[in-house]
Amino acid sequence: MADCYLCGKRAVFRTEDGPLCAEHFSKWYENGVANAISRYSMVNPGDRICVGFSGGKDSTVLLAALCRLNLDCELVAVTVDEGIGGYRDDTILAAKDTALRLGVEHRIVSFKDICGKTLDELLANSPQAACSVCGTLRRRALNAAAREIDADSIATGHCLDDESQSVVMNYLRGDVTRATASFNSNSGDLFIRRIKPLCRSTERATVAYGLCNNLLVPLPECPYTRYALRKDVRTWLGKLEYEKPGTLIRIADGQEELLSKMPKAEGEKKILGRCEKCGEPTSNKLCAACQQLERLM
Ligand SMILES: [Zn+2]
Ligand SMILES: [Zn+2]
């Protein structure tokens, strides 16, 4: 690759403005995260932020970038141990190590703690349901942890690729409810606010940032991803982004514009109640997590 257009050192990443060295690229990446945070007013002074921290590449970069930005807030990293044999133990060790290096308080909560079973045990008869079960229970676990540490918000490592994939997946599934739900639709009083500081950063840049800053260790891939629709969408969109750079941000921006033009749906103002079983906020008798668990237990 060419030289950094700002200082002439060896470049590691090409941005739209030109190639950048490790140092200038890191600054550029952190600026992008800071811009996303202010664009969506994600952080208020003095906030206590529960950072969903799987130990994987995105959430590791998220935690490191939030530390570097010196925001006026407190960070607590929370790792959810789903109980996935041959995968989780290594990532938990990596997570512990990273949190220690960054000097961030670190907590671990497990599926076993919250529902008595590991993900492997829950999925024994229906592995193809993995991502939806895991996603629902992970949200529940993070919410519980965030309440326990009295957090103002929960930050997750979803990057631009994840956001754009979700937009496309909602259309592929014909899921109009989700396709038209605003990003903030779970911002009712009973829910803890969710923020996604990497939502405008591509996965490619996120991984490059992790590599430049020695944050990443090689980790196994989750064994359940082979069942996920997301995997195909990820491949297609990755190819499109490569051939037509800017595809991902156009999908995310297009969706944002579409939502801004929609009349506020009545559904969004619906007053939430509490789950009869666990007390989590929900509009139904049972919350999504308890419904999942009833089916699986
Ligand atoms: Zn430079
Ligand atoms: Zn419940």
pLDDT attached to residue 25: 98
- Give the mean model confidence (pLDDT) for residues 126-152: 85
pLDDT attached to residue 121: 85
**Cα distance between residue 297 and residue 293, in whole Å:** 6
Residue 169 has pLDDT above 60, yes or no: yes
pLDDT attached to residue 200: 96
The more confident residue out of 122 and 2 is: 2
pLDDT attached to residue 190: 66
pLDDT digits (tens, 9 = 90+) for 246-288: 999 999 999 999 888 877 655 454 557 888 888 888 888 888 8
pLDDT attached to residue 114: 82
Nearest-Å Rg of the Cα atoms of the chain is 19
The ligand minimizing its distance to the Cα of 140 is 2
CA of 202 to the centre of ligand 1 (A): 20
Confidence at 1, pLDDT banded by 50, 70, 90 = confident
pLDDT digits (tens, 9 = 90+) for 211-256: 999 998 777 777 776 666 788 899 999 999 999 999 999 999 999 9
Sorted by where each begins, the domain ranges of the chain are 40-260+271-296
**Cα distance between residue 41 and residue 43, in whole Å:** 6
pLDDT attached to residue 184: 47
Is the Cβ–Cβ distance between 287 and 201 less than 8 Å? no
pLDDT attached to residue 128: 72
pLDDT attached to residue 231: 84
pLDDT digits (tens, 9 = 90+) for 13-24: 999 899 999 999
CATH superfamily of the domain spanning 40-260+271-296: HUPs (3.40.50.620)
CA dihedral 113, 126, 235, 177 (to 10 degrees): -80
Highest mean pLDDT among 54-58, 61-65, 142-146: 61-65
CA of 216 to the centre of ligand 1 (A): 22
Residue 108 sits at φ, ψ, to 5 deg, of -125, 130
The more confident residue out of 110 and 115 is: 110
CA of 185 to the centre of ligand 2 (A): 19
CA of 293 to the centre of ligand 2 (A): 9
Of 137, 129, 64, 134, the residue nearest 97 (C-alpha): 64
CA of 144 to the centre of ligand 2 (A): 11
* H or E element at residue 164: helix 160-172
pLDDT attached to residue 281: 81
The ligand minimizing its distance to the Cα of 288 is 2
